[in-house]
A and B are shown apart, each in its own frame.
Chain A
């Protein structure tokens, strides 16, 4: 029995609802109602929480962003005032700039590192799955632990990194206590955590490339680098695209590790957008502005994602 047959008979059982014109007949109507109830029964357990705790609050955030509000006193309508205020405030530019700084530092590190690892672990290496496990371990660790561990490793006075540097006669920087080194510290910790995640996505992409493509390239006399750029990277582009989309979405939302490593400091040097949203809400009681900034962030993420999806035709090859 073919799949399309099974499909048809399933459809026969109920969804006149969907395809054919309704028949005015008590039994059919009964079936229709019963089918609709079945669909509802299967959808409601997920639809209710999504409506109540994602979509509803999303709309509410738009409303809050048009008001001045400290979470306690009644809201005061200010229209687009919060947006105007944010756009006029140099701190807004700073927090977006810091977030972009994070992404620009983090992305090449995890992508090139993850690709190199995936290429290496895709060869006939002994103990491959054990090694893959080691590289993947930080992925299952929470951001808070990652942040705490790296604060300790990068502790300026007696952290192991600066102790090791001192052994070679190098005076290490102040890392997360130094405005210039705070963001690099966060980037290093984040790259350590996510490297294994990127590696596994790219490894899955590599394994999907048919080996006869390589054989053909070898017969044509293509060397390792040539094969990398002419076969591997183009055929890996869907995975690379996914990594790029996910990394940018997550990158713009960076928060946990910043909160636990620097709290946005020192002196606001690593204050990122979400840290600012958190501070506006829970430290300064400016919920209206916080919601406006949330929406600005959401629009930026959406725009960046849409641009990538539009632009993928130029470089992503789907086999």
Chain B
């Protein structure tokens, strides 16, 4: 009875009495759920453990904290803000990430518009060079960048940390894909109304690529907030340090004070968690679209 098997293989829609096959199927679904949920618990556990440790006073190298802290305390957090300049550090990270995001939005959207809507001689080659910069690891550039910014007197300044992040090939690529999807008839209509490129760009293109812009905002902010190597090289003064650098520094200074280190980690993850919860759709879209194209 090929029909029955076909129906069965499509789900439980068949009215036929439950066969051995259907039971097997049900068992499979249950096992699948169990494995996926157990996996999710395992994936989440390091976060949970980080929070637990941060609330356990004096978690040191000599004792493993209990799963439920006996005397939970916010002492570790207090230590970060009172004894160390963590308020300043968070502010630094936030300011740098905000500026990077705004500048990348400007540089990426204008370049993307040029590559999508302004044909010019050698455009393909220029776009190729832009894309190729994605493949150049920052590490290759570290020595000359360091010297360059030293020459300009920009070492140990915000500007020095910011400048190399101003253009993002990923952002240009992402927004160009989005602008290519905007129907050219819209530009055409605006042109007939006498609009120039700048007005088409701000009045028609930008409002039509809002989801891609949201994706870029999330990625630019996240990239800056989490970036490590370049700020490590450029920023030396404690009052200019960003979160990842300050966190790495905690490790040397408080080798055994895991509660303090984990409290710093919680603080560093929370804004990204909030960003992720509010912009989950755009984060996933950004990753997914980079994979397809």
Contact = CB atoms under 8 A, between A and B. Distances in A.
Interface in B273-293: 273, 275-276, 280, 283-284, 287-292
A163 B64 contact: yes
Contact of B191 (A9, A42, A117, A295): A9
B140 A298 contact: yes
A297 B139 CA distance: 9
Nearest to B287: A200
Interface in B147-167: 147-148, 163-164, 166-167
A220 B81 CA distance: 66
Interface stretch (B13-21, B29-37, B71-79, B83-91): B29-37
B185 A123 contact: no
Contact of A6 (B143, B187, B265): B187
A213 to B, nearest CB: 15
A157 B62 contact: yes
B130 interface: yes
B36 A120 contact: yes
Contacts of A159: 64
Contact of A160 (B49, B62, B110, B126): B49
A131 B6 contact: no
B106 interface: yes
Contacts of B126: 43
Nearest to A69: B143
A106 interface: no
Nearest to A60: B144
Contacts of B197: 38, 42
Contacts of B39: 117, 135
A125 B167 contact: no
B139 A153 contact: no
A149 B118 CA distance: 48
A174 to B, nearest CB: 13
A218 B142 contact: no
Nearest to B292: A204
Nearest to B50: A149
A50 interface: yes
B148 A3 contact: no
Interface string A185-208: 000000010011100111111001
Contacts of A305: 135
Interface string B106-145: 1110110110011111000010011001011111111111
A283 B36 CA distance: 45
A45 interface: yes
Given A10-B117, A145-B269, A53 B63 contact: no
Chain B interface residue number, banded: 35 or more
Nearest to B279: A140
A301 B137 CA distance: 9
B62 A158 contact: yes
A299 to B, nearest CB: 10
A39 to B, nearest CB: 5
A39 B118 contact: yes
Interface string A139-167: 11111110011111101011110010000
B207 interface: no
Nearest to A152: B258
A219 B3 CA distance: 10
A61 B143 contact: yes
Contacts of A282: 233
B145 A274 contact: no
A149 B141 contact: no
A104 B283 CA distance: 28
Interface string A228-244: 00000000001100110
Interface in B205-230: 222, 225-226, 228-229
Interface of B: 6, 9, 32-33, 35-37, 39-40, 43-44, 46-47, 49-50, 53, 60-64, 106-108, 110-111, 113-114, 117-121, 126, 129-130, 133, 135-148, 163-164, 166-167, 169, 172, 183-185, 187-188, 191, 196-198, 201, 222, 225-226, 228-229, 233, 243-244, 247-248, 251, 258, 261-262, 265, 268-269, 272-273, 275-276, 280, 283-284, 287-292
Top 6 closest pairs, chain A to chain B, by CB: A204-B288, A142-B226, A201-B291, A60-B144, A6-B184, A57-B144
30 contacts: A6-B185, A39-B120, A42-B110, A42-B113, A45-B107, A47-B111, A49-B164, A49-B166, A50-B169, A60-B148, A117-B36, A133-B280, A135-B43, A142-B244, A142-B269, A144-B247, A148-B265, A152-B262, A158-B62, A158-B64, A196-B43, A204-B287, A204-B289, A208-B292, A252-B137, A253-B137, A255-B139, A256-B228, A278-B139, A291-B143
